[in-house]
Structure 1
Amino acid sequence: MTSLKTFDLTTDGGAAWTVRAVDGPVPDGLIDRPVAATVPGEVHTDLLAAGEIPDPFDGDNESKLHWIGRTRWSYRTTFSWAADGNDRQELVAEGLDTVATVTLNGQEIGRTANQHRSYRFDVTSVLVAGDNELVVEFEGPVAAAEAERAKVGSWPHTNLHPYNELRKMASNFGWDWGPDVATAGIWQPIRIESWSGVRIDAVRPLAGADGVLNTFVSLAWTDTASEYATVTVEVGGTTQTASVKPGWDTVVLTNTVPEVDLWWPRGHGEQPLYDVVVTLADDSWTGRVGFRDITVNVAPDNDGTPFVLSVNGKPIYVRGANWIPDDAFVTRLNAETYRTSIQDAVDAGMNLLRVWGGGIYESEDFYDVCDELGILVWQDFLFACAAYSEEEPLRSEVEAEARQAVTRLSKHASLAVWNGNNENIWGYVEWSWRVPLAGRPWGAGYYLDLLPKIVAELDPRTPYSAGSPYSFDQFIHPNDERHGTMHIWDVWNQVDYTTYRKYKPRFVSEFGFQGPPAWSTLTSVVHDAPLDPYGSQMLVHQKAFEGNLKLERGLGEHLPVWKDIDDWHWTTQLNQARAVAYGIEHFRSLFPLNTGAVVWQLNDNWPVVSWAAVDGHGIRKPLWYALKRVYADRLLTVQPRETELVVAAHNDTDNAWTTEVTVTRRSTARDGEVLARETFTLEVPARSARISELPQSVAVTSNPTSEYLEVRGADGSTAHWYFAEDTTLELVADAYSTSITKTDGGYDVTVTATALAKDLALFPDRLDRAARVDSCLITLSAGETHTFKVTGALAPSEVGVPVLRSANELLN
């Protein structure tokens, strides 16, 4: 019989942790001085809590704190333990970041070199009754990565540090949106498990759409175990039991749930979840599963190679975003912060998040929320923008972490895709790696052999892709728009966003455009006086190469160059929103050739100018509101097709879409004169698209700078088309009036247009950092009104520039 006891080293036995700098470029007075530590935690957050360092996100503090990543750190605790009669004691460290030596009572019990896996050390002969001392000493991660490079050779990578030498979160070393704050610490729970006989080592419950749950239970035995063990699995009112003889390491139990309710992604059905309980004497495991099948169709067709994700046999049009770690210091995240951020995706109409390969295998909290809210998850294996050694010791670490990650996450209903890497196959083909590699293996063996074998063995119900982008054929360029998944990055880096319309991608898994965070977020960390796009602290919070110059170049002919910092902030936020919306509307107009778009990116991990839709303080940027519009279940958009204009309608619902559509050509002037009007009946079957040609009476203009198209469905759907860019469009400066009404939770701002008022936006955080608004980027024709609902602030007497903005005043 098993007898399992758990001793939590964060709470039990009076355990209190300290951290101290052992050696490195440490400021005077800190070397060897203990500082109170929180476990789980990170050295940066410990030093910050102790008042030893300033906020790493503020001003230019980031560079002042680079010494932390080159310093050796020692975490220490003493705890009191009493023998409990069990045969074996093991120290279980769920996550150590990263190169560490673990010592108990002065005896080394293990070494680690991988942030992305857990460790279990036998301490039976080292643990003593009474007081014990546990020390975990971490190498400075930057110094450790450089030392490894010196030992085994250099491998091509992006950014400053050789992050690809270690199995550690790549973006922790700095990225083109994130700070260089390479951390160390006990970042996951740590405990002692005391047991006899047999215990549960791991559980993999794999549920299918047929109601069958196959539960794979791995067991660990002591050498002296002699009794049979009974394993029981309960789910959905069913119970299965197996008797296992000593030494058997795996048992599989199959439960069949009658009349099972299937799990669906949001917008396609409900998300029923079933509790699973696995018991083994006094050891137990609990989790939740959703019964579903997920496939990806990449069978060649007449247009190339599709990428069609299907759930329970039903194709899903993917409306998604890339996800990065939600805080540069990931131990500050919890179930509440994850739910808030994932709700941003839900509220924007998304159905998929791609967990990018430079971050982490996301937490149970993240996956639990996605299970509950119906957000599909594409999980990258953790390889990003670099070549990786396939030799030891890295190869064994890669296999160990992959096996643990697949075992842990495979149960989740939301898990839709395992992906081998981010841009590494593309990098090998195009990023001049072959000369420095000199024929050495560079990671392809992981993506094309090791990882797909692990997925096939441990999670055969979840599709695998070798990379993103990937064309699903080794003889085709990995970023070919005709095949599989593609990334579009010439837009933003080199060319105007109108280039999106030159592509006809089957599936876009990365694309995006930058813009600054909310004004209150930006000014909370940037203190240049005067504030300037090229100020020294501003550039600390702009990590992209020539980022602010690209923001300026990216305006093109769309919007005028700013007159002051307020205009810079609004103009670049507006241009970001328009650029991304432009791309998505085009992609959706190609349905069913195009089967999905995953924008870069949903979230930020600190206050920064970036591609994110929601900034580092959780404020939704204008881009987020643009995404909400273009990711709506039903989308109307006006698109050019050769020599004509069309209305493209994408109906991503289970019901037919029938509505009367009115297309009006109007004047931009104060009266908003109607120059021509046509109506037609739009009929779009479920999960389908329709293209409707516009008659010449509305599609052709004699004065492109003073006319526009307004497209309205009787059901409230809308679209607009402009015959000229804003820089030549004749917009009235004072095109609207406003009124303010106090409400219980804040205030309403009602705007009434007297002429075309384009892209109205309200920024209440300029008045109160806690204030939020419900809508943004509202375009009104003469005579129309819109009410912005503001929460969390007292009503001002009036609002105007820069709190209330539109495109109109940028041009006047």
Structure 2
Amino acid sequence: MFCCVLFCVVLGVFSEPSVELGLNGKWRLSNSNGSVSVPAPVPGCVHTALMQQQYIQDPYFRFNDLSYRWIAHDNWTYMTSFNVSAQLRVKQKVLLVFDGVDTVATILFNGFMVGRTDNMFRRYDFSVSHLLRDGENVLKVVLVSPVLYAFKQSKAHSSYSVPPECPPDVQKGECHVNFIRKEQSSFSWDWGPSFPTLGLWKGIRLEAFDILQLIQFSSFPLYNHSSGQWRLQVELIIDADQTTSGQVELSLPELGSQETFQTRFTKGRTKYNFTLLINKSREVKLWWPNGHGSQPFYRLTIRGFQDQVLLLHTGSKVFFRTVELIQEQIGSSLGLSFYFRINGKPVFLKGSNWIPADAFQDRVDPSVLRNLLQSAVDANMNALRVWGGGVYEQDLFYDICDEMGLMVWQDFMFACAMYPTEDDFILTVREEVSQQVRRLKSHPSIIVWSGNNENEAALATNWFDIPASKRLSYVKDYVKLYVNNVREIVLEEDPSRPFLVSSPTNGAESEQEGWVAANPYDPLYGDVHFYSYTSDCWDWKTFPRTRFASEYGFQSWPSFSTLEPVSVEEDWSYDSKFSSHRQHHESGNQQMLQQAALHFQLPNSSHPLKRFTDTLYITQVMQAQCVKTQTEFYRRSQSEIIEGKGHTMGALYWQLNDIWQAPSWSSIEFGGKWKMLHYFAQNFFSSVLPVGFEDEDSLFVYAISDLSQDLQIRAVVKLYSWFGLGSLCTLTSDLTLIPGGVAAPIFKRPMSELLAGCGVCTRLTCLVSFHLEDDHGVQQGPTNEHFLCSPKDAQGLRRPNITAKVQEDESGFAVTLLSDAVAPFVWLDVGRVPGRFSSNGFLMVSGNRTVRFDAWRPSSVTELSRSLTITTLTDVY
């Protein structure tokens, strides 16, 4: 059987016979009646062009998402003029290439209409050889309002409705987004604003050639288990101006593999497939996920010749790895397993879900991507799910994931809706899917394709109140779109990795049930999305013991320093119009406080600004503790089957990043600042982790290891009093062998015995801290804690006096804290000084602690000391 292996594509075409003219840069942008006319950068979009020319304010400021709705309701024209060299004009074929148009446009070249676009996710090219002029050439792109286009498409679709027509009112969005192939969240989402963008969001150029031109290139390794043979599949899409014979040379010099293929290049656009066998005597270095090994690669060189004349020359990185999605019976249990095996090794996926990093894609520059992805790695993540309501990310995103060992669960861009299935819609989707799979399948980081986000669940549980008499029609359309088209193309284009029709899904069981399972949330199969805002998140028994948790989470607000630039003083209240406007999840602000009130006293300062900032803090404490509890439950469930449930092999919380400054489920604020949750993730995703919980009136500590090697470790459990610093007593378990990739109980003690053995402890007066040690007494993994009561009920908990000293050394800044009392959820904040701490939101049970601060721009001890604030739980009472 051939398993998937990966490759990474870095295209660089040096074909001498071709000539290229880039058309990026300054264009002219005007609206339909000419009342607005401004310079506009390309790549770019209308909103950011207007902002750069100070025609509008920051679209994220206060209520500007409503004030600037007019932009997306108008039509806009981009125009540029340029001269074309004689060297380019004499070429046999000249293509006008658009890597991305957002979204519905008519293309005019020197006054002639050369084509139309209707899909943000497609590359388009048009032949313009016959239209080139000596001297000035004029290119216009006339963009139609995406909002009005989507409305007209929905009205033209009169045979039956395609729900939902509009988003919930709380999202303040636009309607009929499922009728246009653009970023679905641009019409609004429950964590984001409505900015239906228009623009030329990717590059534009002229490509000219005489004989042939390389249009797209990909490669992926496959492994034959029975023969132990690697082979590299190479695919070239070539546009030839004439039918001609030639040769294609493939070379992987580091592995001693090279072969030349005699090829007949057919006139027109054709895909050519080549196979390069890897010498079995050579050791192939494998790509591994973060935490499981390194990410080595090899250099592939491709050259094309005709009569010994070089026609094309390109290269890429090639990464070798296999991926399998294992769905098989687990002993005598009901259901099927659901886990990923990388290079033959079962890997627990630890990570989060990725949404667009900005409503305006031209602002997502390399520094933004690298900071967010590095933050994921630094929190010990090994996986991200690129969610299906945003965009297929830019090449650099996947390059960085390859480099960092971040596995990617890649959705296709369909989310939370039904979709039309007319011929025109299916045709543009088929081309979209083909292009995106060909563009991305070279990346080892992508380990699975998924057809959509939550659309199987939407049908199965009838989100849209579809009458029973019509349900079969919608199921038929669902199968037509995702199975007969998306799945069919993916299976043909990419045999190197698995495909799932939806998320959540029961996987193989959904297929058996006709692709729409009766219960796609069944914990015995596939992946599960689970949200509950009213149940007590500290009670692990409220969470489903699922095979794979691909979405779960709780909201919080960002910090005041993130909100301040987009608000004014009258907005700085939890009950303000601004706070209500920014919340796009129904009752979200109330749900956060209700959940927090289960375990914490709510802020009650008489000072309005302090009460507001304290409330922001308490929502982050609540979120961090909730997601920690749920994630630790999933991690300790990986080796257990209880009543058929368990063997959990993935925890991807919702969501990693933010699209603007607002409340959401994210662990990183817009701008890159870590919330308390992200600091917690550093610990709960640690490769070695102790997890404590109560069951049947006993305290359990599990040891979890993602390591390849076995560990001999013991649990060290300490009890502390809320009244004072220093541990009251210490208990130690016996050394236990913990195999790699296993979660196992290592400590168990009845609560009554635990408390009685420590003398003065009761549930209300004490708390538990614990860690793991090896046989040499060296701590393995982080220290964890378990609260014996809600902090709001703790007896002896008082407001600590914490002093801080900031110092600078050769490696950066250090902050040393001294406290005179136990301090839970110690939060350090330096306002708008960009950077992050080595640890934050922590529990102080000793009198001192030192943390590092990594500044993202030049700073000083004076600035940090002046900016530093310290908040603990009792400071908000």
Instruction: Normalising by structure 2, report the TM-score.
Output: 0.87
2:571–2:577 CA contact under 8 A, matched in 1:
no
Change (3 A) 1:568 1:800: farther
Partner of 1:392: 423
**Among 88, 91, 99, which residue is 1:86 paired with?**
91
**Among 275, 295, 298, which residue is 1:274 paired with?**
298
Distance (Å, rounded) in 2 between the aligned partners of 1:339 and 1:770? 15
| 1:776 counterpart SS class | coil
Partner of 1:156: 163
Partner of 1:725: 790
1:526–1:538 CA contact under 8 A, matched in 2:
no
| Mapping of residues 664-743 of structure 1, within 5 Å | 664-672=718-726, 674=728, 677-696=731-750, 699-700=754-755, 703-714=762-773, 715-716=778-779, 717-743=782-808
Partner of 1:453: 488
1:18–1:36 CA contact under 8 A, matched in 2:
yes
Distance (Å, rounded) in 1 between the aligned partners of 2:669 and 2:197? 22
Is 1:531 aligned to residue 572 of structure 2?
yes
Is 1:116 aligned to residue 121 of structure 2?
yes
Is 1:18 aligned to residue 23 of structure 2?
no
Change (3 A) 1:667 1:682: farther
| 2:353 counterpart SS class | strand
Q: Cα distance, 1:645 vs. partner?
A: 1.9
Distance (Å, rounded) in 1 between the aligned partners of 2:231 and 2:385? 27
Partner of 2:583: 542
CA shift digits 1:487-512 (9 cap, x unpaired): 012x23x4332455332111000011
Amino acid at match of 1:496: D
Distance (Å, rounded) in 2 between the aligned partners of 1:648 and 1:808? 30
Partner of 1:27: none
| 1:529 counterpart SS class | helix
Computed over aligned residues only, the root mean square deviation of the Cα atoms, in angstroms, reads 2.3
Partner of 1:28: none
Partner of 2:11: none
After alignment, is 661-670 or 798-807 more displaced?
A: 798-807
Q: Cα distance, 1:348 vs. partner?
A: 0.4
**Among 508, 526, 534, which residue is 1:484 paired with?**
526
Distance (Å, rounded) in 1 between the aligned partners of 2:521 and 2:275? 42
Distance (Å, rounded) in 2 between the aligned partners of 1:435 and 1:418? 31
Partner of 2:618: 571
Amino acid at match of 2:199: G
1:240–1:254 CA contact under 8 A, matched in 2:
no
Partner of 2:644: none
Q: Cα distance, 1:2 vs. partner?
A: 8.7
Distance (Å, rounded) in 1 between the aligned partners of 2:67 and 2:97? 35
2:103–2:182 CA contact under 8 A, matched in 1:
yes
Change (3 A) 1:549 1:2: same
Distance (Å, rounded) in 1 between the aligned partners of 2:554 and 2:259? 52
| 2:717 counterpart SS class | strand
Partner of 2:264: 245
Distance (Å, rounded) in 2 between the aligned partners of 1:407 and 1:92? 17
2:726–2:846 CA contact under 8 A, matched in 1:
yes
Distance (Å, rounded) in 2 between the aligned partners of 1:72 and 1:260? 54
Q: Cα distance, 1:673 vs. partner?
A: 5.7
2:805–2:817 CA contact under 8 A, matched in 1:
no
Higher relative contact order (CA 8 A, sep 6+): 2
Q: Cα distance, 1:736 vs. partner?
A: 4.9
Distance (Å, rounded) in 1 between the aligned partners of 2:351 and 2:319? 21
Is 1:203 aligned to residue 203 of structure 2?
no
| 2:734 counterpart SS class | strand
CA shift digits 1:287-338 (9 cap, x unpaired): 2220111110122332422211111111110001100111111112233321
Is 1:590 aligned to residue 637 of structure 2?
yes
After alignment, is 52-61 or 680-689 more displaced?
A: 680-689
| 1:96 counterpart SS class | coil
Amino acid at match of 2:838: D
1:748–1:787 CA contact under 8 A, matched in 2:
yes
Is 1:756 aligned to residue 822 of structure 2?
yes
Partner of 1:506: 547
Distance (Å, rounded) in 2 between the aligned partners of 1:204 and 1:70? 39
Partner of 2:251: 234
Is 1:66 aligned to residue 69 of structure 2?
yes
CA shift digits 1:596-648 (9 cap, x unpaired): 10011111112111111111011011110011110000110112233422101
**Among 831, 843, 851, which residue is 1:779 paired with?**
843
Partner of 1:290: 319
Distance (Å, rounded) in 1 between the aligned partners of 2:527 and 2:106? 41
1:288–1:412 CA contact under 8 A, matched in 2:
no
Partner of 2:150: 145
Amino acid at match of 1:294: V
Partner of 2:10: none
Distance (Å, rounded) in 2 between the aligned partners of 1:731 and 1:445? 63
Structure 2: gaps (5+ residues): 1-14, 168-172, 224-228, 305-309, 605-610, 640-646
**Among 531, 535, 556, which residue is 1:495 paired with?**
535
1:678–1:698 CA contact under 8 A, matched in 2:
no
Distance (Å, rounded) in 2 between the aligned partners of 1:260 and 1:228? 34
Partner of 1:611: 665
1:211–1:259 CA contact under 8 A, matched in 2:
no
Change (3 A) 1:580 1:124: same
Distance (Å, rounded) in 2 between the aligned partners of 1:671 and 1:216? 65
Amino acid at match of 2:261: A
Change (3 A) 1:562 1:808: closer
Change (3 A) 1:171 1:500: farther
Distance (Å, rounded) in 2 between the aligned partners of 1:531 and 1:455? 49
Partner of 1:415: 446
CA shift digits 1:532-562 (9 cap, x unpaired): 1121122332222222111111214211122
Partner of 2:328: 299
**Among 686, 698, 702, which residue is 1:648 paired with?**
702
Amino acid at match of 2:318: V
| Mapping of residues 367-382 of structure 1, within 5 Å | 367-382=398-413
| 1:57 counterpart SS class | coil
Q: Cα distance, 1:730 vs. partner?
A: 2.0
Q: Cα distance, 1:286 vs. partner?
A: 2.6
Change (3 A) 1:802 1:610: farther
Amino acid at match of 2:444: A
Using the aligned pairs only, state the percent identity.
29
Q: Cα distance, 1:705 vs. partner?
A: 0.8
Amino acid at match of 1:241: T
Amino acid at match of 2:489: I
Change (3 A) 1:470 1:771: closer
Partner of 1:182: 196
Q: Cα distance, 1:272 vs. partner?
A: 0.7
Change (3 A) 1:732 1:33: closer
| 1:743 counterpart SS class | strand
Amino acid at match of 2:844: L
1:89–1:124 CA contact under 8 A, matched in 2:
yes
Provide the aligned length of Structure 1 versus Structure 2: 794
| 1:559 counterpart SS class | coil
Distance (Å, rounded) in 1 between the aligned partners of 2:183 and 2:277? 39
